Amino acid sequence: MAADRKKIGKASRNKGRRVELEFVHELEDYGVPSRRRQASGDSRSEDDPDILIAGVLTAESKARKNGEGFKTLQDWLGDSDLLFLKQNNKPALVTMTMATFKPMLLAWYEQNKEPSNAFKSGD
Beta-bridge partner residues of 57: 53
Whole-number pLDDT of residue 7:
65
Rounded to an integer, the average pLDDT of 83-107 is: 96
What is the value of pTM for the model shown? 0.74
Whole-number pLDDT of residue 6:
56
Starting at the earlier edge strand, list the strands of the sheet with 51-53: 34-36, 51-53, 57-59
CA distance 27 to 47: 22
pLDDT band at 42 (very low <50, low <70, confident <90, very high): very low
Whole-number pLDDT of residue 1:
45
